[in-house]
Amino acid sequence: MSEIEAFVAGLPKAELHLHLEGSLEPELMFALARRNGVDIPFGSVDEVRAAYEFANLQDFLDIYYAGADVLREEQDFYDLTLAYLKRAAADAVRHVEVFFDPQTHTDRSIPFATVINGILAALAEGERELGITSGLILCFLRHLSEDAAFATLQTAEPYFDRLAGVGLDSSEVGHPPSKFRRVFAAAGQNGLRRVAHAGEEGPPAYVYEALDLLHIDRLDHGNRSLEDDALVGRLVREEMTLTVCPLSNLKLCVVDDLVNHPLRRMLELGLRATVNSDDPAYFGGYVNENYVKTARALGLGPTDLATLAKNSFTGSFLDDAAKTRHLAAVDAYADGFEI
């Protein structure tokens, strides 16, 4: 193990950009297909992995939604979530704020309660058995209508006290944040935090809309903000956390090579960037691999990596006391590590 790998392995961190459906490993996909009698268009785990070549976000989404079809029962959502939490615990993740896409399931006639009860039970188990605290973020699919998002929000109402917030994901270009202005306002009025994917493939104008019209508390991806200096200045001033996903960016051709990834520049500009895995089963790396590969490509050292880990706690929805505890743990770890 290299020194950077060893440093990252034990570095306490939070993961703030993780789609539970994107943590469905091919092995579990096959097991659930068998358990539920669902046909999948692949003959083997290797065949599934070989199909994971994407030219852009939509290429990925098509296969990601198809894969989610094996998720049918509450136990499936429980197994999916617990498998992710175990994998995250192995990467020294202490806190997660995870996304789920209820419409992907309710549109297949899976009841909302089946989905969320399985997820919530696993999150509770993860806290008990693995010591990982968590928040759950309900994402609206932006390729669907705002009316459909409203219907989803209404269905979720009995669970509002167990949700950290709402988010916005799926096909970005052509589906600007402004399309969801009213439903985000309603979510905010119900005390839910607001996050949105913006500036992954979409232009800086979409990031402005997410700030001004959706009143986001956190920006998911945000890469293309760097095309607009005034926007960067505003994100710095407003101490906006960006949930950056380097290996996702590489797999979806948002960057052509990790050596050209903007993460180092983001830190230099004073942006509060974090490192996350997005859809690790599809993009080939959980959070530590994102830290290590990006560190290698960009020449980041322990100080930068500790900053990224601290940003992940500062940008989380934990209360101030928990943030202070986690930040002290990162400092203690970094101070005690000889590199």
User: Which partner from the list ligand HPA, Zn ion, none does 22 bind, CB cut-off 5 to 8 Å by kind?
Assistant: ligand HPA
Residue 197 binds to ligand HPA (criterion: CB under 6 A)? yes
Q: By CB under 6 A, how many residues form the interface with ligand HPA? A: 10
Has 200 been annotated as catalytic? yes
Between residue 142 and residue 181, which ones bind ligand HPA under the rule CB under 6 A?
A: 169-170
Comparing CB distances to ligand HPA, the nearer of 25 and 169 is: 169
Min dist CB 140 to ligand HPA, Å, is: 11
Catalytic residue selected from 200, 201, 209, 289: 200
Place of tokens 């990006």: 294
Nearest to 316 by CA among 11, 14, 10, 8: 14
CA 84 – CA 90 distance, rounded (Å): 10
Nearest to 14 by CA among 131, 92, 73: 92
Per-residue x/- track, 268-287, ligand HPA (CB under 6 A): ----------xx--------
Stretch binding Zn ion (CB under 5 A), from 47-55, 100-108, 265-273, 274-282:
274-282
Residue 298 binds to ligand HPA (criterion: CB under 6 A)? no
User: Which partner from the list ligand HPA, Zn ion, none does 306 bind, CB cut-off 5 to 8 Å by kind?
Assistant: none
DSSP state of 278: B
Min dist CB 317 to Zn ion, Å, is: 17
Residue 173 token pair: 């270009």
Q: How many CA atoms are closer than 13 Å to the CA of 173, on its beta-carbon side?
A: 8
Q: Strand 272-275: give its sheet, edge to edge.
A: 13-15, 93-100, 133-141, 165-169, 193-198, 218-221, 241-244, 272-275
Comparing CB distances to ligand HPA, the nearer of 197 and 293 is: 197
Nearest to 305 by CA among 318, 324, 322, 287: 287
| Angle (nearest 5°) at CA 49 between 69 and 168 | 50
Min dist CB 338 to Zn ion, Å, is: 36
User: Which partner from the list Zn ion, ligand HPA, none does 142 bind, CB cut-off 5 to 8 Å by kind?
Assistant: none
User: Which partner from the list ligand HPA, Zn ion, none does 57 bind, CB cut-off 5 to 8 Å by kind?
Assistant: ligand HPA
Residue 278 binds to Zn ion (criterion: CB under 5 A)? yes
CA 118 to chain centroid: 19
Residues 6+ apart with CB under 8 A from 107: none
Residues 6+ apart with CB under 8 A from 200: 57, 172, 220, 221, 222, 223, 224, 249, 252, 254
Per-residue x/- track, 15-44, ligand HPA (CB under 6 A): ----x--x----------------------
CA 261 – CA 280 distance, rounded (Å): 18
Comparing CB distances to ligand HPA, the nearer of 79 and 279 is: 279
Residue 287 token pair: 């959070």
Min dist CB 10 to Zn ion, Å, is: 26
Between residue 211 and residue 270, which ones bind ligand HPA under the rule CB under 6 A?
A: 248
Q: Which residues bind Zn ion (CB under 5 A)?
A: 278
Q: Which residues bind ligand HPA (CB under 6 A)?
A: 19, 22, 57, 169-170, 197, 200, 248, 278-279
The set of catalytic residues is 200
